[in-house]
Amino acid sequence: MRLFNTKILGTGSYLPERIVTNKDLSERIDTSHDWIVERTGIHQRRVADLSKGENPSGMAKEASLKAIEAANLTPNDIDLILVSATMPDQSMPNTASVLQEKLGITNLCPTLDVNAACSGWIYLVPMADAMIKTGLYKHILIVGSEMLSSFNNWDDRNTCILFGDACGAAVLGRASENEDSRIYSSILTCDSTKKDHLTLMAGGANKRITHEVLDKNEQWMTMNGQQIFKAAVTTMAAHAERVAREAELTLDQIDWFIPHQANLRIIEAVGTRFNIPASKVIVNVDRFANTSSASVPVALDEAIRDGRIKRGDNLLMAAFGAGLTAGAICLKY
């Protein structure tokens, strides 16, 4: 069977207009700009406005159109849509099918939502790679679209300071025979022994949203920040090392490291363990905070569009999220 190499054909991103600064938060809850910057590196975050169409599918439409244009394709060239959304538009229909309609795609391509929390977009890359490699699909749109503001308890200083809304998208397709682009290696894992460190237990089949749930404030996420912090550092560093080794690349040969943007201290600790210089690490957590599965594709798109990432560069991307899901990808852009 003939196998194809997978190439990132185009990327796009969308950030909601509204900016919420640390100062804005400190006027509502007992926190300060300095505390948030010192513990997280976050200065501000974007928050979606439903009245402006900024929901997961709406943000995905804008990011996807940019990615499709950058790939020199039209929406009807897409033959599979995969969307990672920790909080989808609604349970049914899936966000990916709403996105198909919003993009004006009429070719009846299949649509699928996945939820692997902040690792969701990274989870989609090897899945799309396998399907492109074998020729099952030609142009796969993979999207991380996140509106965590909808389940962020804005009165809980332990969590609300951390998150922001955004969408990142990429079109993956076949590299032509004279091109070097390829996915070298990937790893996806889930350590369910750590699944209770980050949860949102109400709103699913087990616990419907009732007056009692609302009275107990159970409709929001809860997090054990220190446990997540430790697991994030060890897992992302180990995964990054492994995919680099499997790609047979030395650290010198890696041009850019794009980690999940959860907390600047996590990013720095992973960089130190993985031994990659800060000048090669792409960071935007200061401006956008943790945008869950949108964070890696948004950072990727930003660095491609501002010229830091160039064709032929070796990229290493890593993420972790609730579950505790995690993954890393090493590729030639």
Cis bond before residue 251 (omega within 30° of 0)? no
Asked if residue 88 binds ligand ACO (CB under 6 A), the reply is no
| 260 noted as active-site residue | yes
Strand ranges (E), the chain: 6-14, 19-21, 44-46, 80-84, 111-114, 139-146, 166-174, 182-190, 198-199, 222-223, 256-259, 314-321, 325-332
Asked if residue 280 binds ligand ACO (CB under 6 A), the reply is no
* Per-residue contact string for residues 15-54; x = within reach of ligand ACO by CB under 6 A: ----------------x---xx--xx--------------
Asked if residue 157 binds ligand ACO (CB under 6 A), the reply is yes
By the 10 Å C-beta count (0-12 exposed, 13-18 middle, 19+ buried), 88 is classed as buried
| 211 noted as active-site residue | no
Residues 41-76 as b/e (b if ≥16 CB within 10 A, e otherwise) read bbbbbbbbeeeeebbbbbbbbbbbbbbbebbebebe
How many residues bind to ligand ACO according to rule CB under 6 A? 24
Rounded to the nearest whole angstrom, what is the least distance from the CB of residue 75 to ligand ACO in the complex?
30
Out of 292, 304, 330, 331, the residue judged to bind ligand ACO by CB under 6 A? 292
Quick one: which segment of 87-95, 107-115, 222-230, 269-277 binds ligand ACO (CB under 6 A)?
222-230
| 43 noted as active-site residue | no
Rounded to the nearest whole angstrom, what is the least distance from the CB of residue 83 to ligand ACO in the complex?
16
Q: How many CB atoms lie within 10 A of CB 37?
A: 14
What sections of 194-328 are H helices per DSSP?
211-215, 225-246, 264-274, 285-288, 295-305
Out of 96, 118, 125, 299, the residue judged to bind ligand ACO by CB under 6 A? 118
Catalytic residues, by residue number, are 118, 260, 290
Contact set with ligand ACO (CB under 6 A): 31, 35-36, 39-40, 117-118, 157-158, 161-162, 198, 223, 225-226, 228-229, 232, 262-263, 290, 292, 321-322
